[in-house]
Structure formats: structure tokens, C-alpha cells
Amino acid sequence: MAIPRVRPGNYPAVLSYGFRPFFLLGSLYAGLTILMWLPMLYGRLETASVFAPVDWHIHEMIFGYVAAIVTGFLLTAIPNWTGRLPVQGLPLAALVLLWLAGRFAVFFSADIRWLAAAVIDSAFLLAVAVAAAIEIVAGRNWRNLKVLAPVCVLFVANVVFHLEAHLKGETDIARKLGIGATVLLVMIIGGRIIPSFTRNWLVRENPGRLPVPFNGFDAATIVCSALALVAWTCFPDHSASGLMLLGAGGLNIARLCRWAGERTWRDPLVLVLHVAYAFVPAGFLLAGLASLLPEAVPPAASLHALSAGAIGTMTLAVMARATLGHTGRELHASNATCLVFSAVVVSAVLRVAYAFIPDVTALLHVSAAAWTLAFLGYAALYGGMLVRPRLRSRQPNPVPS
């Protein structure tokens, strides 16, 4: 059930629901950060951060961009799950300011010292987890507490990231822990919204085979994938980890095939969700092959299949759909939106390809340009919807319970 209610107050529309500020700021940040990243990589732009350029890039993609989008989604979905009013107004503004403070703290961490930056930056995800837990518990929506587990792991990964960077000068464990936690969220949330939205569209537009409802197979796939991600994080070079990752990849291929995605090609808003999820098994398979055949498959291929591919494409797809539905617009992907979707997929594919052929730097440059086009394109297309009041002609698109 959708809960199209807000508490009356003297605050702008952008602070009426969590998706509004966080989707807008997150998309802008994702695009602008990549514009900064290449000059940093080539030594033409310096930061006042204690992080090395590569670590800054990885950290801000995971704990800056992804954290913002996850927060926007949760603060919008939880009222639908619990029937309670959303976090809005001053409490929402406080979370936004805390996220912004984290971005500045990381960028200027060499000036304010690493510990202060770590505390300020890590406080955001902790506050989000606490706020979400309070709402879920108050609404007695116990079964959705499990969604907070990956958020808590993401918080821990952020803390570990700062510690690793300070103590070891590298962040291999933290980056994989952060990516793994987000991939699990994609699997959990994707397992709800993809078959639900697919079923709704097929029943209305293309009767026939429907997605298989969530059952024990889905639960087993998530558990096996979580164990494989733990092995990938802690023992990436062990053959057993490689086999677990390959097994998880096969299970996720089977899971995706159960959702009848090939029948949705006429609706880009639904089809892109299936395309995004396809990067999940691709990432697992590449990670497994990298463990078993390190001389043939570079580890960076799996990292970017899961991050730029699965996470980047899924978050952008959810942002577009949620923005249209929750602002009262028709659930229709314009040609410009299709371009945005195509750009993020092209960016991910080229970034994975660059991992295999790093001598062809054009792949990296075009990938970065496509990523920037996708996320700044989203901000240009949907920014006005995010800052203006909701249209009253339609009900918001429900988040499956």
C-alpha cells in the first residue's frame, strides 16, 4: 500500500520525502566526482585528502553516492512498509547536512586530520541506520528489519575504510566489504521490486508467463551469495572462494531467468531493472574466475561489474522510477531517460573492458564520459520534479511490501 501523506510544515518540497534531496544530491555528486576523478588520477588535480586518489574515488562512490541513494530509498520505502509519516522537514535536513559534512570532511581530511574526518563521515550511515530502525520498530514492521543488516555492514565498512587507509595505506578489505553490502541490498530490494513491477506490467500489457514469486530458492541464493561475498572479501585468492563465487553467479543467473525479463522489452522502466540485475551474476562469475585464473581475469573487472554495473545501473533505474511515481508523474520512460539508462550501461561495460585491456585508455575516458552523462542527465531531467511539490493527479508508485 502506498502512503501518499506528509506532515504539513513550513519547509520546501525538497524536504518532504527522503528521496528528493538524496536522489538529487547523489546524482549530482556521482557525475561531478567522476569529472574530478580523471584529473586526480593523472596528477592534474590535488585534494586535501589523506586518501590516495584511487581510494578517494572508491570511497566517495560507495560511501558518498551509494550511501545517499540507499538513504533516499529507505526513507521513502519505510513509510510504505510501516504506515507511518516519513522523515521530513528539519530531521531530514539534518541528515542531508550530515551527509554533506562527510563529503567535505573526506575531501579536506589532511587539514582536519584523519580521525576527525572518519568520525564526521561515519556518523551519517550510523544516523541513517538508527533513524530507519526507529521507524521500523515503531511501526512494528519486524520483517523489514533485515534490510538494515546491509546498512549496518556498510557503516562498519566505512569505519574500516578509514582505519585501513590510515594504518595500512590500502583499503582492499573495506572496499570489498562496502561493495558486497550494497550488492546484497540490490539482491534483497531487487528481489522485491523487479518481479513485482514486472508482474504488474505483464498482467496489464503482455499476458503470459509471469515472474516466479519469492520462495526458498531466492532465500538460498541470497544466503549463498552473502557467504561468497564474505569469502571474496577475506580470502580472494583461495580456490574455494572462487568456486563459491562461481556457484553464486550460477544461482543468480537462474534467479534472474525466473523473472521473465525477456518479455518486458517494450517498457524501458522495467527492462532496465533486469539489465541492472544481470550485472550481479556477471560480477560473481568474474570474481570467481579472477580467484581461479588470476593471470587471465583481472580483479578490477569484477569490482566494476558489481559497482558501476549492478549498483550504478540499479540505483539509477530505481531513482528514475521512484521519482516519477512519487511525484505523481506517469510511469513512462522518455527518449532522454532511455539515453540516460543506455549511458550508465555503456559506462559499466566499457569500464569492465578497460580492466582487461588497460592500454586502451580511450575505454576509461569514454566510460567516465558516459557515467557523467547518465547521472548529470538524471539530475537535469528529474531535478525539477524533485524540488517541486507532488502533482495531485496520481497516487505515488507503491514500494512492494
Sign of the dihedral through C-alpha 109, 110, 116, 119: positive
Q: State mean pLDDT over 172-182.
A: 95
Residue 222 has pLDDT above 50, yes or no: yes
pLDDT per residue as tens digits for the range 317-333: 999 999 999 999 999 99
| Closest among 211, 317, 193 to 263, alpha carbons compared | 211
Q: Say what the pLDDT of residue 326 is.
A: 93
Q: Would you state the cell numbers that stand for residue 305, as one nine-digit string?
A: 561489474
The CB density around residue 65, as the number of other CB atoms within 10 Å, is 24
pLDDT per residue as tens digits for the range 329-361: 999 999 999 999 999 999 999 999 999 999 999
pLDDT per residue as tens digits for the range 231-277: 999 999 999 999 999 999 999 999 999 999 999 999 999 999 999 99
Model confidence at 4, in pLDDT bands (50, 70, 90)? Answer: very low
Q: Say what the pLDDT of residue 6 is.
A: 62
Q: Which of 38-42, 151-155, 218-222, 295-299 has the lowest mean pLDDT?
A: 38-42
Q: Could you identify the residue written with the cell 516519513?
A: 86
More confident residue, 400 or 185: 185
Taking the C-alpha atoms of residue 358 and residue 381, their distance in angstroms, rounded to an integer, is 33
Q: How far is CA 384 from CA 23, 45, 188, 349, 398, in A?
A: 12, 32, 30, 30, 21
Taking the C-alpha atoms of residue 222 and residue 248, their distance in angstroms, rounded to an integer, is 9
Residue type at position 348 = A
Residue 2 has pLDDT above 80, yes or no: no
Q: Could you identify the residue written with the cell 570532511?
A: 105
Cα end-to-end span (Å), the chain: 8
| Closest among 158, 205, 197, 204 to 177, alpha carbons compared | 158
Domains in the chain, ordered, with CATH? Answer: 11-166 (no CATH), 171-390 (1.20.210.10)
Is there a contact between 147 and 129 (Cβ–Cβ < 8 Å)?
no
